[in-house]
Amino acid sequence: MCLLRNSLGERKKAQCDNFWPMVNKLFASPEAALADTPNGATIMIGGFGNAGMPAELIDALIAQGAGDLTIVNNNAGNGDTGLAALLKAKRVRKILCSFPRQADSWHFDALYRAGEIELELVPQGTLAERIRAAGAGVGAFYTPTAYGTRLAEGKETRRIGDRDYVLEYPIHADYALIKAERADRWGNLVYRKSARNFGPIMASAARCAVVQVRETVELGVLDPESIVTPGIFVKRVVRVAPSMRKAA
Amino acid sequence: MKKLDKKQIAARVARDIPDGAYVNLGIGLPTLVADHLPKGREIILHSENGILGVGPKPAPGDQDEDLINAGKEPVTLLPGGAYFHHADSFGMIRGRHLDFCILGAFQVSATGDLANWHTGGADAIPAVGGAMDLAVGAKKVLVMMEHLTKSGESKIVERCTYPLTGARCVNRIYTDLAVIDVKPDGLHVIEMVEGLSFEELRRLTGVPLKRLATAA
């Protein structure tokens, strides 16, 4: 039962007792799934604007209290909830994103102008590929994106064939907070529409991917041909009931 | 002269998109192109956040927070459409699979350099999104913009003064005054609006322009 919640020592003991615990990645609540988040963690947060934003997990992270965080997300918060609320609570030291400035990014804007948050601006495709590279064990890659622009300043470049490329490194994370539609206890995931966005690659790039889903199902219910994120990339799953979503 | 309004520029761009094309529309002005695609052509729209086959705006009340475009506006999915994750989406872009992308711009240089992400202001919060990937990735990069700034300066320039999005990446420029191709030997005027002379266009633009024999 507690394969992933226990320390390595406890897991070994269980195996020695000739008892192989059932793989069960389901956690009772967002708070339980994020209880061990340390200060200074690097946390990827899925979502593109509010589509795929794991709002309840972010609320739990705010309540949990970890600070000095490095956050990876496409944006820098919208409105007053979710990532914007985490920023407002001053838990974030640095953010890596492609598109911080939006009509409703006032919490980020204020922190940035006050010099209270570090920004690493990354072109969106480079952000996605750096995340993918981390999950796929790639040490670095050359991309044509941003060559000759100020976002490539100081970076190694190389001419390959008739094109110029910029060397980019992977982005690893301690945690990924993701929203999916449906999961089983092995952590297999399917997503909903364009809320998929960064979910699959962030799950692969983080040491501990924590997923909130609308529904959990028995093993075998998800069509193996249609599983988008295989459970190997997922460590923890929390079901967030629609009523909870409304209340948040 | 009869300057084109934004919708007319969008309609003019849309006319050049052939049947079967895979197209990404940048946020802002380019999204208008979707409303003017010629009927009878099947054109597949890509959205950077993981959609192929983007359909029209949903009817009021049918919006779905999980189905949005790059500008975070609600959209629909056409039959045959597909969802995919961000690394695949930008693989399509960088990997030269898109036939066209249509971008707005602050400036385009005579050699096709594009500046559209940052005004360079010290106090401006930079945001790049997918613009740099689109600029280097699409087979053809089309720019639509007003020809002149509000203060009357040409947005087609010898050299961009704003920070670059991509170097030598623009293939064609559509403005409220003209359609201009960016070629290795310079800027070629393909069309001008009614009542505008080539000399006047050249004076307003301020960089060398070539006149295609067939241009009106």
Ordered DSSP codes for B78-133: EEEEEE--HHHHHHHHHTT--SEEEE--SEEETT--EE-S----TTPPP--TTHHH
Nearest chain A residue (CA) to B51 = A194
CA distances (Å), origin A182, targets A231, B8, B67, B107 = 12, 45, 17, 45
Which band of pLDDT confidence, cut at 50, 70 and 90, is reported for residue B1?
confident
Pairing of strands A173-183, A206-216: parallel
- Percentage with pLDDT > 90 across chain A: 87
The rounded distance, in Å, linking the Cα atoms of A157 and B184 is: 24
User: Quick check: B125 and A109 CB within 8 A?
Assistant: yes
Interface membership of A228 toward B (CB under 8 Å) = yes
Nearest CA in chain B to A111: B125
Q: How confident is the model at residue B177 (pLDDT cuts 50, 70, 90)?
A: very high
Task: Give the chain A residue nearest B138 (alpha carbons).
Answer: A145
CA distance A227 to A216: 14
Residue A151 CB partners (closer than 8 Å, separation 6+) = A121, A122, A123, B128, B132
A197 and B127 in contact by Cβ < 8 A?
A: no
Task: Determine the pLDDT at residue B120.
Answer: 84
User: Which pairs with CB-CB distance under 8 Å and at least 24 residues apart come from B194-199?
Assistant: B194/B1, B194/B2, B195/B1, B195/B2, B196/B1
The pLDDT of residue B212: 78
pLDDT at A3 over 90: no
Check residue B119 and give its pLDDT.
Answer: 86
> What ipTM was assigned to the predicted interfaces of this complex?
0.95
| Per-residue pLDDT at B41 exceeds 80 | yes
Give A177 to chain B, closest Cα distance, Å: 16
Residue A247, pLDDT above cutoff 90 = no
A109 contact B CB<8A: yes
- Cβ of A144 under 8 Å from any chain B Cβ? yes
Residue B147, burial from CB neighbour count under 10 angstroms (0-12, 13-18, 19+) = buried
| Predicted local distance difference test score (pLDDT) of residue A243 | 55
| Domains defined along chain A, listed by start | 8-138+171-247 (3.40.1080.10)
Q: What is the pLDDT of residues A157-179, one digit of tens each?
A: 999 999 999 999 999 999 999 99
User: Chain B contact for A51, CB < 8 A?
Assistant: yes
DSSP character for B70? T
Environment class of A109 (CB within 10 Å of its CB; exposed 0-12, middle 13-18, buried 19+): middle
> Does the beta carbon of A216 lie under 8 angstroms from any beta carbon of chain B?
no
**Mean pLDDT of all residues in B21-29:** 94
DSSP state of B61: T
Q: B152: which DSSP letter?
A: S
> Could you give the strand order of the β-sheet that contains B156-157, starting from the edge strand earlier in sequence?
B114-115, B107-109, B156-157
Q: What is the pLDDT of residues A202-235, one digit of tens each?
A: 999 999 999 999 999 999 999 999 999 999 999 9
B146 is known as an active-site residue = no
pLDDT of A9 strictly over 70: no
Shortest Cα distance, chain B CAs vs residue A23, angstroms: 27
Determine, for residues A196 and B126 on separate chains, whether the beta-carbon distance falls below 8 Å: no
Task: Please tell me which of the candidates A51, A124, A150 has its beta carbon nearest to residue B65.
Answer: A51
Confidence of residue A199 (pLDDT cuts 50, 70, 90): very high
What is the pTM (predicted TM-score) of this model? 0.93
Q: A48 touching B, CB under 8 A?
A: yes
pLDDT of residue A18: 53
Question: Is pLDDT at A23 greater than 80 in this prediction?
Answer: yes
| Tens digit of each residue's pLDDT (9 = 90 or more) over A121-164 | 999 999 999 999 999 999 999 999 999 999 999 999 999 999 99
Name the minimum distance, in Å, from the CA of B157 to any CA of chain A.
Answer: 17
CB contact under 8 A, B85 and A100: no
| pLDDT score, position B50 | 98
Interface subset of A 117-136, CB within 8 angstroms of B:
119, 121-129, 131-132
State pLDDT tens for residues B56-106.
999 999 999 999 999 999 999 999 999 999 999 999 999 999 999 999 999
Report residue A6's pLDDT band, with 50, 70 and 90 as the boundaries: very low
For range A51-59, the mean pLDDT? 97
Can you tell me the distance from the alpha carbon of A161 to that of B156, in angstroms, rounded to the nearest whole number?
30
| Domains of chain B (ranges, CATH numbers) | 6-211 (3.40.1080.10)
What confidence category does residue B134 fall into, taking pLDDT thresholds of 50, 70 and 90?
A: very high
Task: Tell me if A149 sits within 8 A of A121, measured CB to CB.
Answer: no
Alpha carbon of A236: minimum distance to chain B alpha carbons (Å): 20
Confidence of residue A20 (pLDDT cuts 50, 70, 90): low
- Residue A180's region, left for phi above 0, alpha for psi from -120 to 50, else beta, is beta
Contact criterion met (CB below 8 Å) for A102 and A124: no
Which positions in chain A touch B137 (Cβ < 8 Å)?
125, 144-145
**Would the pLDDT of B147 be above 80?**
yes
Residues of B in contact with A101 (CB under 8 A): 124-127
Q: Do A201 and B87 touch (CB under 8 A)?
A: yes
Residue with tokens 């963690």: A41
User: CB pairs below 8 Å between A and B: how many?
Assistant: 139
Q: Does A147 touch chain B (CB under 8 A)?
A: yes
Give the nearest chain B residue to A149 (CA atoms): B164
